[in-house]
Structure 1
Amino acid sequence: MSDLYLSMGRKEGAAGSLYWAIQFTNTATTACALRGYPGVSALDTSHHQIGPAATHSGSSYGTVTLAPAHSASAIARTTNGPVGGPCLRTGSYLRIYPPGSRSAALVPAPWKTCSGIFQVGPVNVDGTF
């Protein structure tokens, strides 16, 4: 975890959904490998969790090997407003556990889960959900 820098990438909307890339950048001098899904939850300004953690998208995944200074991402998804249910209050941070890690990073990110949908895809280099 200490050799990964976590940040938020582009936020995009499509077909009633909001997608936001979680970037994992290797800050080490050697390659590192990531496989699977990050653990993601929304937190308020007091670092209390808002609603349930993200579920997995169900996509298949493989091992991603990151050379030094290279990045991969996992895509977080919710609905773009109260489509099939209400929205929770907007969080100030995302708590993110890289795949296989027990250490989390708090990333400033205004996230609002709507309609009970909060999903995350596997870490990949294709930018896919």
Structure 2
Amino acid sequence: MLSLVVVLSAACGTAPGSEPESTSTTFSELAAEASRNAESVQQCSTERLRVHLGPGDNDMRGAHVPLRFTNTSAEPCTLQGAPGVSYVTEESGQQLGLPAKRHTDGPVVTVKPGETASAALFLSSAPHKTPGCEQVQAGGLRVYVPNGIQPRFVGHEGTACAAPLEEPSLEVGPVRPGADNTRI
């Protein structure tokens, strides 16, 4: 039996009675390294992303579509929170109505080059049903990536109510992994 212990100890790289080299990593060390790695990945800037709408579905309340963020750069980047979204008349046009209600609590999402993350976007049908709504035609959406300051224009014809309103006709959730998030 003693020879088996010696053979096993030798196979593991330690002799009987000697102290083994410390090669194990604790959970807290792994978590700290993962945190450092996440911190080294830069936040996605508007310039690094293609922002576009994906196909969605409709119900009696309105349309549910994914607002997609595709990384067009050569490096991974992160997104966290909800984008800013509002209807606009055209690319450099005036905002129509209130900006989207934002649900900002979401995970940090790392978007690798060529990959897409998305935020659920709800476009209410209320402008078509609300008495007193002064309907105006939107030429698209002005989108600010989470924590971004430069907007992107996303072409999308729709109907909005001119301000003042009590509630926005858009609602957006946080960015999540995957290209097809449609439910907030």
TM-score interval (norm. to shorter): 0.7 to 0.9
Asked if residue 67 in structure 1 is aligned to residue 112 in structure 2, the reply is yes
In 1, the alpha carbon distance for the partners of 2:56 and 2:122 equals 10
List runs of 5+ in structure 2 lacking aligned partners: 1-45, 162-166
- CA displacement, residues 38-58 of structure 1 (integer Å, 9 cap, x when unaligned): 0111111361111011111x3
Q: Look up the equivalent residue of 1:49 and give its one-letter code.
A: Q
**Structure 1 or 2: more helix by fraction:** 2
Asked if residue 104 in structure 1 is aligned to residue 151 in structure 2, the reply is yes
Partner of 1:30: 75
Q: Which of the pair has more CA radius of gyration?
A: 2
Count the aligned residue pairs.
Answer: 128
Q: Is the contact made by 1:34 and 1:99 (CA closer than 8 Å) also made in structure 2?
A: yes
Partner of 1:91: 138
After superposition, the CA RMSD in angstroms is 2.1
SS of the residue 1:100 aligns to:
coil
Q: Is the contact made by 1:51 and 1:88 (CA closer than 8 Å) also made in structure 2?
A: no
Q: Look up the equivalent residue of 1:79 and give its one-letter code.
A: S
- CA displacement, residues 51-83 of structure 1 (integer Å, 9 cap, x when unaligned): 011111x37311111111000111221333534
Distance change in 2, residues 1:93/1:63 (3 Å): same
Q: Look up the equivalent residue of 1:54 and give its one-letter code.
A: A
Q: Is the contact made by 1:78 and 1:113 (CA closer than 8 Å) also made in structure 2?
A: no
Q: Look up the equivalent residue of 1:117 and give its one-letter code.
A: S
In 2, the alpha carbon distance for the partners of 1:59 and 1:98 equals 12
Q: Is the contact made by 2:119 and 2:175 (CA closer than 8 Å) also made in structure 1?
A: yes
Q: TM-score, normalized by length of structure 1?
A: 0.85
List runs of 5+ in structure 1 lacking aligned partners: none
Q: TM-score, normalized by length of structure 2?
A: 0.62
Partner of 1:120: 172
Residue among 30, 36, 43 paired with 2:88:
43
In 1, the alpha carbon distance for the partners of 2:168 and 2:108 equals 30
| Greater than 2 Å deviation, 4+ residue runs | 14-17, 78-88, 111-117
